[in-house]
Amino acid sequence: MTADTSINRADKVRQRRNSRSQDRVVRAANLSHVRPMANQTVTVRGRGMGSPILKKSSTQTRRKYYVALDTAGTEWSMPAIPMIRPGWRLLSGLIVVAMMVMLVVVLATASFQVKVTKIAGIQRLNQADVEAVLDLNGKSIVTVDPAALRANLEKAFPELSAVAITVSLPANVNIAVRERQPILAWNSKDKLTWIDAEGVLFAPRGDAGGLLTVMADGNPPMAQVLPSAADIQTTSTAAIITPTADPAKQRVDLKIIDAAALLRTQMPEKSNLVYTTLNGLGWTDPRGWKVYFGLNLENMAEKLTLYQAIVDQLTQKKIMPAVINVENINAPFYRLEH
């Protein structure tokens, strides 16, 4: 009994040892497949929301595809395909490339080239002259700058008081203008210039009807143009005091336009309105004398009344004057000799 018992005990000890060895192998195998624990995100709390100190690196996952075969329980693994996620940079680049392609197509296509320009509102102007200044024939519509075209027209044709330009696809350029209406013609040394109601000087073009013409020995008196706020900021004090010399901003003194219109209603038929830099406005009377109302164009109604009174007195006395001057109401005079 004692020997059998010792044998059983030895077997049991060996079995326990074998069992423990196998348990160690299994535990070791299990530990080898356990992944290390990922670093937990640590956040810092302050005034704003918590921000992680450690961030996981982003990785692009690849999507796998499996194809089932005819044999049951078998399948074919396709190569992994990366997932493409386009960003804003790629999208912006595609938009830029598309716009460049469209621009090249528009520039090279004849359908987008300007051939005919529609001009509305011209009366005395010639359309051919306007088109020569615009120079749009054969140009692509995308190169047309309405602001630059308007500036060129206003510079080339001072008689235009308003210019509107619209551009539309595929190749349409519409222009609407308004011409100034002359009310006075100024003839200085055989050089004729028209003047409108705003005092703008421009070259005669076409037929304006029966305009009142002033025969002058010089240019008409000009109104002083005050500098704008932009000019004051960009110009020195000495330059501001000097009147502007820009022809586009020059205007005839409106007083002489009003005075000429008033004298026209009072001067006799077949007489010419004249202007001299010494004696101012007047006219040549068919009865043989010249009358001047002076450079000071105020009180024209009183001067006309005074002139008529002087003419009546000289007629009664049968005096034939050469010149009558009523520039100074308080000291009018007449001269007999030429």
Residues 210 and 293 in one domain: yes
Is 314 a domain residue? yes
Residues 174 and 123 in one domain: yes
Residues 168 and 308 in one domain: no
Is 98 a domain residue? no
Calculate the dihedral angle through the C-alpha atoms of 204, 209, 214, 217, rounding to the nearest 10 degrees: 30
How much is the pLDDT for 147?
Answer: 94
164 within 8 A of 176, measured Cβ to Cβ = yes
How much is the pLDDT for 295?
Answer: 93
Tell me whether strands 81-82 and 62-63 are parallel, antiparallel or unpaired: antiparallel
Residue 153: how many CB atoms within 10 A of its CB?
19
The amino acid sitting at 218 is G
Is 32 a domain residue? no
Q: How far apart are CA 80 and CA 232, in angstroms?
A: 73
Is 79 a domain residue? no
Last residue within a domain, chosen from 125, 151, 179? 179
Residues 310 and 268 in one domain: yes
C-alpha 171, offset from chain centre: 20
Residues 195 and 269 in one domain: yes
Residues 264 and 307 in one domain: yes
Q: Measure CA of the first residue to CA of the last residue in the chain; give whole Å.
A: 180
206: left (phi over 0), alpha (psi -120 to 50) or beta: left
Query: Which residues does 337 contact at the CB level (< 8 Å), separation at least 6?
Result: 322
Is 133 a domain residue? yes
Specify the CATH number for the domain of residue 167. 3.10.20.310
Is 136 a domain residue? yes
Coil, strand or helix at 240: helix
Is 151 a domain residue? yes
Residues 205 and 309 in one domain: yes
Specify the CATH number for the domain of residue 261. 3.40.50
How much is the pLDDT for 233?
Answer: 58
Domain count, the chain: 2
The amino acid sitting at 308 is Q
How much is the pLDDT for 97?
Answer: 82
263: enclosing H helix or E strand: helix 254-266
User: Residue 138 belongs to what domain range?
Assistant: 112-179
Residues 145 and 277 in one domain: no
Contacts 24+ apart (CB under 8 A), 202-209: 202/157, 202/158, 202/159, 203/158, 203/159, 205/124, 205/125, 205/159, 206/123, 206/124, 206/125, 207/124, 208/124, 208/181, 208/182
Last residue within a domain, chosen from 179, 207, 228? 179
Residues 286 and 195 in one domain: yes
Taking only the tens of pLDDT, the chain with its 338 residues reads 555 566 677 777 778 877 777 777 667 656 544 444 555 555 555 555 555 555 555 555 556 666 677 676 677 676 666 666 777 887 888 888 888 877 777 666 777 788 878 899 999 999 999 999 999 988 888 889 999 999 999 999 999 999 999 998 888 899 999 999 999 999 998 899 999 999 999 999 988 888 999 999 999 999 876 665 555 555 555 544 454 556 667 899 999 999 999 999 999 988 889 999 999 999 999 999 999 999 998 899 999 999 999 999 999 999 999 999 999 999 999 998 75
Residues 277 and 215 in one domain: yes
* DSSP 8-state assignment for residue 203: -
Last residue within a domain, chosen from 179, 201, 229? 179
Residues 191 and 330 in one domain: yes
Coil, strand or helix at 275: strand
How much is the pLDDT for 52?
Answer: 56
Residues 162 and 206 in one domain: no
Is 234 a domain residue? no
